[in-house]
Amino acid sequence: MLLLKNADVYAPAATGRADILAAGGRILRIEPGIRLPQAYVEEVDAAGLIAVPGFIDGHVHITGGGGEGGYATRTPELLLSDAIRGGVTTVVGCLGTDGITRTPAGLLAKARALDEEGLSTFMYTGHYAVPVQTLTGSIERDLLLIDKIIGVGEVALSDHRSTQPTFEEFARLAAEARRGGILSGKAGIINVHMGDGRRGLSVLRRIIEDTEIPATQFLPTHIGRNPALFEEGIAYAKAGGLVDFTTSTVPAFLDEGEVKCSAGLRRMLDAGVDAANITFTSDGQGSLPDFDGQGRLRRLDVGRVTSLFAAVRETVRTEGVPLATALRVITANPARILKLRGKGVLAAGADADIVLLDAESLEIDGVIAKGRWLMKGRQPLVRGAFE
């Protein structure tokens, strides 16, 4: 049993100072003054630390991604230590542009490997292309028969790298994902890669307007990619749609007009967007390609899961967003949207995924996943099998 004493608890709402008792991978009690015989418990004084839910990164290329610049630009797989340093205890793996040398079967194997190493893992079926490449022959079967598959993605729209799906093709894809989600009790959500194209969110808006499929079936990501898409995203989210910011970026993207996550969250909240409709994801291990006006690759960088909480921290310290609000975009919101039960909250019965933050600096001090210490006193305690 693990007993954290005197922590300042954000669940993610601020609930005050309390003790947290965990055992068997779950939280048993959160209340002040918990006392147990020392023989039965590891007791840790968490005074001066803020206890928050373990972070959920809902868009990570865990098997690597990229290849837009040729074979040598294929990015590497996610390392366990990167997730630990970023406070990420739950990962949703996805494929991107490459669905040939990166496959759903490989994604599932990597998800199970990270699960064995201490994280909680899920995945999307498919990649940029429509029709969607699946494991079992259909989206519905994947959702119903494979435990870790919770949705579809990332499927590309408004991007020169997409397969340019028609409205009818994308609506049919959404319908199959919805049926599979309903039957399996999963989110069945479609993670939508948004490119720079002038069509923006028009396909999603038309599906919502012209069919019975609700806006909550889609999670368009990279919403801050350019000012026009960002402004369209504000209107889309105010109408009930979900939007996701990508925390991995490079100075060149920001110079070219990408809206920084911290400023983007602040601006959306000021515009009246419900905070519950916003998430952050890292695009970890994905390639960050910069193409010129003719679609030629100019430079390539790699996304990092460590950018996830760094962006939240900047939102609090630079943009003045309350910590409880900022935390929601990487805890409670993705847990609810993706139907990840037991995740994203600190509460009795929830999974014992806990991140401890220094109360002054908001730096990550400790990471607990499924009740097990992965980092303690800013020192990683666990590494991946081949690190």
What positions carry a catalytic annotation? 283
Q: Which of 191, 184, 160 lies closest to 61, judged by CA?
A: 191
Instruction: Give the H/E segment covering residue 325.
Output: helix 323-328
d(CA 61, CA 282): 10
Q: Are 34 and 324 in contact (CB under 8 A)?
A: no
Structure tokens at 150: 């919770």
Question: Nearest 5°: phi and psi at 298?
Answer: -105, -40
d(CA 272, CA 222): 20
Amino acid letter for position 246? T
3-state secondary structure of 179: helix
3-state secondary structure of 82: helix
Instruction: Give the H/E segment covering residue 321.
Output: none
d(CA 220, CA 189): 10
